[in-house]
Amino acid sequence: MDSSQPKAIVLTPQTDTQAASSLPRPIGSLVDRYGRVHTSLRVSVTDACNIRCTYCMPEKVSGFLPQDRLLGFDSIARLVHVLVRAGVRKVRLTGGEPLMRPNLSQLVQRLSAIVGLEQLALTTNGMLLSEQIDGLVAAGLTHINLSLDTLREPAFLQISRRDGLDRVLEGIQAAVESPLHVRINALLLRDINLEDCLPLVGYARKLGVVLRFIEFMPLDANRSWSRTQVVTGAEIRELVEAQYGALVPQDRADASQPSRDFHFADGVGGIGLISPVSEPFCSSCNRLRLTADGKFRNCLFGKQEWEVKRLLEPPLGQEDCSDEDLLAVAKACVEQKHASHGISDSDFQPPARAMYQIGG
């Protein structure tokens, strides 16, 4: 199987003419000061997680958002509907661990019914996937990214501070057997799991799944990030090529895609390198983010947030907002986006929220 070829699943299988005529009436687009058009939305559905990856969460969490602070499914669906009218075409559900949000497949069902949305994806650690995958597929999920940093139980425990590698591998197997388009994401930390690079590549090749390596970013709750721990995309390419021979770069079909993708010379599978630290891709960023507590963010590293929960879920007696009000907030957020994340600036400060509180 050629793993680089996505199993083509689209939410609205229509002819071009049908699709054009049945798309909801457009209401402007989300373009920032630098001309970047925002067509991709990351929706965090919870900040809770069932493991505690050192590069993301603190060991002890003082508490997760209570149910009443989470944006409700009705609100998320309404917002996505408005944003699709403003040009959003991809939605990725994330967290925290999105499968911890009760009844997630009900949200998937609501979103997959939105005409004009072309891709509905989920990023998960896979721990709860094998029991939820059938419901998610039936509800209309199209793509899934699974995080896997090691195949060694002790390293899994060291990284995630929990047991459960077997459940993650079960989840990956279930995903591969499903009709979903599957990718595996790995994060390497120099002192902990650099040695897992090649075994992970071998595992993904056997499964026929593209494996993408993402560089460690300064978004960990422990504030222990250091450049020396970052294993760069270039280093990974060198390691993989030493074992498998020269990798064949693939053309970027989608310029906003952060991953540099490669085929193996023997045609079996491929890898992707996402290098936000060593090779920032901000100039083509098309992403807008919604936190689990209903705030827009225009960048993982942004310091500012734009509140929408209060508009979507006003206190009793207060008037409902219009779609135009919601769009105005999204536009204000996009318009204020900086040219780049600034990780390498001398005055760089990480954001107050860690990765699990923003949505990765």
Contact set with ligand SF4 (CB under 6 A): 49, 51-53, 56-57, 95-97, 125, 355-356
Which pair of tokens denotes residue 320? 């409902």
209 binds ligand SAM (CB under 6 A): no
No. of H helices and E strands in the chain?
11, 12
Q: Which helix (H) or strand (E) holds 120?
A: strand 119-124
- CB of 325 vs ligand SF4, minimal distance in Å: 31
Q: Which is nearer to ligand SAM, 92 or 331 (CB)?
A: 92
Comparing every residue's Cβ against ligand SAM, the nearest one is: 360
**Torsion angle in degrees (nearest 10) through CA of 349, 351, 353, 358:** -140
Binding to ligand SAM (CB under 6 A): which residues in 76-95? 94-95
Query: What tokens were used for 284?
Result: 């083509």
Residue 356 touches ligand SAM, criterion: CB under 6 A:
yes
Burial code (b: 16+ CB inside 10 Å, e: under 16) for 84-109 equals bbbbbebbbbbbbbbbbbeebbebbb
* Site for ligand SAM, residues 10 to 69, rule: CB under 6 A: 49, 55-56
Cα–Cα distance for residue pair 39/81, rounded to 1 Å: 13
Report in angstroms how near the CB of residue 238 gets to ligand SAM at its nearest.
20
**Which residue, 187 or 209, is less far from ligand SAM as judged by CB?**
187
CB distance 161 to 200 below 8 Å: no
220 binds, among ligand SAM, ligand SF4, none (CB under 5 to 8 A by kind): ligand SAM
Residue whose CB is less far from ligand SAM, 220 or 305: 220
Taking the least distance from each CB to ligand SF4, the nearer of 164 and 294 is: 164
Strand (E) or helix (H) holding 238: helix 233-244
- 184 - beta bridge partners? 146, 211
Q: Among 64, 156, 203, 216, indicate the residue that binds ligand SAM (CB under 6 A).
A: 216
Positions touching ligand SAM (CB under 6 A) are 49, 55-56, 94-95, 97, 123-125, 147, 185, 187, 214, 216-217, 219-220, 355-356, 360
